[in-house]
Chain A
Amino acid sequence: MTAFIQATFNGLLQGIVYAAIGAGLSLTLGVLGIINVAHSALALVAAYLGWTGINQLGLDPVSAFIIIGALFFFVGVLIERGLLKRLYSEDAWASLLVLFGLMIALETIANLVWTTTERAIRLPFSAAVEIAGYRLSSSRLLGGLIMLVAIIAVHAFLTYGRLGRGIRAMAANRDAAEILGINTERLSMILFGLGTALAAGGGIALGMIYPLTPQLHTQWLVLAILIVVIGGLGGLPQTMLAALAVALIETWTGLYISFRYVDVVLYLILIVLLWIRREGLAGVRERTL
């Protein structure tokens, strides 16, 4: 029983980190209609920067999250301005192709700068903390809590803020929003920045749990897509629930069956879901908006 509770807690914390990665993807798909395949590659580069900052430069982890998160907000803004802005009126695959190129470029950069040697972010404190007799992984606890705060902040921004209201209007009907005087270009930029910052934070948090290699982002991307398919694009609470479900399925499969079957179980679920709903990502978009 102790093992179950411990694993479940650690799974939930990991789920919050997954939610951060999934949220960025679902926001850009839901509002801008863009499938950002470079999303997880951005998260990976952020994670490597976290490794450099924490392991090499001795930065404390919380500052690393804040600095790199803020930096990646602007990276997202630049990508949206420089690469995507002109492609909204084109077919969806035009932006998909551009982002695929960006993904390859980012992976190559990761390869050149950090090499293929595994890099694990080491925290400057003990690996586990004991709370009420249960041992929790301190990296999961730190990453999970920081990402929980970040996701709640973004959710509050979207739900209660003026700009958030504008972004939701833009998601529902871009022309109608623009006609009311909403500068949708500016809001797209902010939204893409937020999604990229969330990805960066999620990347650093995952880098504290698993060692980094330059190809790791493909696994993260599939994970993010899985979360979007399960959670839909209705909002961050749904994304959070989907991510927690995925993490718990992973955890319990690892605990009771074998960690080797984790991916098998997850993708069987994905296949069954897609089969039941008979729709792809485009269908996900229509269902929720």
Chain B
Amino acid sequence: MAEVRDRSVHLSIESVVAGYSTHDVILDGISLKAPKNETTVILGPNGSGKSTTLRAILGLVNVRSGSITFDKAEIIGLPTYMRAELGIAFLPQGHSVFPQMTVEENLLLGGWNFGRDRATLLASYERTLDEYPLLRDMTKRKAGLLSGGQQRLLEVARLMLPDPSLVLIDEPSVGLAPMFVEEVYEHIERLKAKGKTVIVVDQNVQAAVDLADYVYILEFGRVASEGVVGDYSSDVGAIVKEWLRV
């Protein structure tokens, strides 16, 4: 790929310490960078702080010290909903559709930040249905009645509706039937193709590394190892497995 990438930093985490209660430390001085339009993958054993890193970016966990900048502006202290306004979207682990609401209502909620601008909301809604045409036939169905794979599709479409610039993805394949897993990674590929900055946290090492431009391996709430994946042409999975044994 001879394409010239803009390696400017989109999101930067500097020495962040964070935990859920006052005495636990889950992130212990973690630092990492996600360059624009690249896919950054975060790997690591259970409890290494992968998901908490994403929750810190979203403001869902208390950050005690350090700095998180997005488009060069500090975002620590901003409430979660304002981070969505800035263009940060999140695909959480497990299900996050609103089951009692229709597919249409779920999608429209994705465009919450358009406020009273109904014209933009409806235009984005139509564009999203064009991009995810499977959803067009089920707009009036309750989201809770969709299959697991369809719900994931709805979540991806919903987060893409407001055209975010940074997409955070937490364990995309957990809880999904194997037949849908491949589909989910295809969706993530498409995000990359659309020029989004993507950060993926995953246990599925091989699948995640196939997507990655850059990989961070966490251990005990810090970065234990990092590297550019493109440099390794052969068995990336084996290399990562070796990193994991560090």
User: Does the CB pair B92–A179 fall under 8 Å?
Assistant: yes
A180 and B112 in contact, given A173-B96, A175-B60 (Cβ under 8 angstroms)? yes
The answer for the CA separation of A173 and B60 in the assembled complex, in Å, is: 14
Q: Tell me whether A172 and B98 are in contact in the complex, defined as CB-CB below 8 angstroms, given that A165-B105, A180-B109, A181-B162 are known contacts.
A: yes
State the CA gap A289–B89 with chains docked (Å): 25
The residue in chain B whose Cβ has the minimal distance to the Cβ of A179 is B90
Provide the B97-123 mask, 1 if CB < 8 A to any CB of A, else 0. 011110001001110110010000000
A172 interface neighbour in B100, B113, B159, Cβ under 8 Å? B100
In the complex, A118→B116 CA distance in Å? 49
Chain B count of residues within 8 A CB distance of the other chain = 26
Whether the Cβ atoms of A183 and B96 lie closer than 8 Å is no
Task: Return B201 CB to nearest CB of chain A, in Å.
Answer: 15
Task: Name the contact of B101 in the complex, choosing from A172, A175, A179 (C-beta under 8 A).
Answer: A172
- Say which residue of A162, A165, A172, A184 sits within 8 Å of B81 (CB atoms): A184
A286 in contact (CB, < 8 A): no
Contact (Cβ within 8 A) B92 A176: yes
**Interfacial chain A residues near B32, Cβ < 8 Å:** none
Q: Which of B46-91 contact A (CB under 8 A)?
A: 58, 60, 79-82, 84-85, 89-90
Residues on the B chain within 8 Å of A178, using CB: 79-81, 84
Count, chain A residues at interface, CB 8 A: 19
Contact with B along A163-198 (1 / 0, CB 8 A): 001101100110111111111110000000000000
Known: A172-B101, A179-B92, A184-B81. A166 touches B112 (CB 8 A): yes
* With contact pairs A176-B96, A179-B58 given, residues A169 and B81 touching in the complex (Cβ less than 8 Å): no
B159: nearest chain-A partner, CB-CB: A180
Cα-based distance from A10 to B50 in the complex (angstroms): 62
Please report which residues of chain B, range 109-164, place their CB below 8 angstroms from some CB of chain A when the two chains form the complex.
109-110, 112-113, 116, 158-159, 162
Question: Do the beta carbons of B79 and A185 come within 8 Å of each other?
Answer: yes
Contact of A181 among B84, B92, B101 (CB under 8 A): B84
CA distance A169 to B99 in the complex (A): 9
Given contacts A169-B98, A173-B96, contact A179 B80 (CB under 8 A): yes
Complex CA gap A166/B115 in Å reads: 11
Q: A172-B99, A173-B98, A180-B158 are in contact. Are A165 and B90 (CB under 8 A)?
A: no
Given contact pairs A165-B105, A169-B101, A175-B60, A181 touches B112 in the complex (Cβ within 8 A)? yes
Cα distance A179–B92 in the bound complex, in angstroms:
10
Residues of B within 8 A of A166 (CB): 109, 112
Residues of A within 8 Å of B110, CB to CB, are 180
- Residue of B60, B84, B116 near A180 (CB, 8 A) is B84
Contacts of A162 on B, CB cut-off 8 Å? Answer: 116
B132 to chain A, nearest CB (A): 17
Of residues B84, B105, B109, B159, which shows the largest number of chain A Cβ atoms within 10 Å of its Cβ? Answer: B109
Interface residue from B81, B98, B158 paired with A183 (Cβ < 8 Å):
B81
Instruction: With A166-B112, A169-B109, A176-B92 as known contacts, state yes or no: A181 contacts B81, CB within 8 Å.
Output: yes
Most buried by A among B84, B89, B113, B162: B84
Instruction: Enumerate chain A residues within 8 angstroms of B81, measured Cβ to Cβ.
Output: 178-184
Tell me the minimal C-beta distance from B156 to chain A in angstroms: 13
* Nearest CB of chain B from residue A161's CB, rounded to whole Å: 11
Q: Which residues in B have their C-beta under 8 angstroms from that of A165?
A: 101, 105, 108-109
Q: How far is the CA of A173 from the CA of B81 in the complex (A)?
A: 14
Q: Which residues of the other chain, B, contact A185 by a CB distance below 8 angstroms?
A: 79
How many Å from the CB of A257 to the closest CB on chain B? 40
Chain B 18-45 residues near chain A, CB threshold 8 A: none
What are 10 A-B contacts with C-beta separation under 8 Å?
Answer: A162-B116, A165-B101, A166-B109, A168-B101, A172-B99, A179-B84, A179-B96, A180-B112, A181-B81, A181-B112
- Give 20 new A-B contacts, CB below 8 A, not counting A165-B101, A166-B112, A177-B109: A162-B116, A165-B105, A166-B109, A168-B101, A169-B101, A175-B60, A175-B80, A175-B92, A176-B96, A176-B98, A178-B79, A178-B80, A179-B89, A179-B90, A180-B109, A181-B82, A181-B85, A181-B113, A182-B109, A184-B81
Taking Cβ atoms with an 8 Å cutoff, the residues of B that contact A are 58, 60, 79-82, 84-85, 89-90, 92, 96, 98-101, 105, 108-110, 112-113, 116, 158-159, 162
A contact set with B: CB distance below 8 Å:
162, 165-166, 168-169, 172-173, 175-185, 289
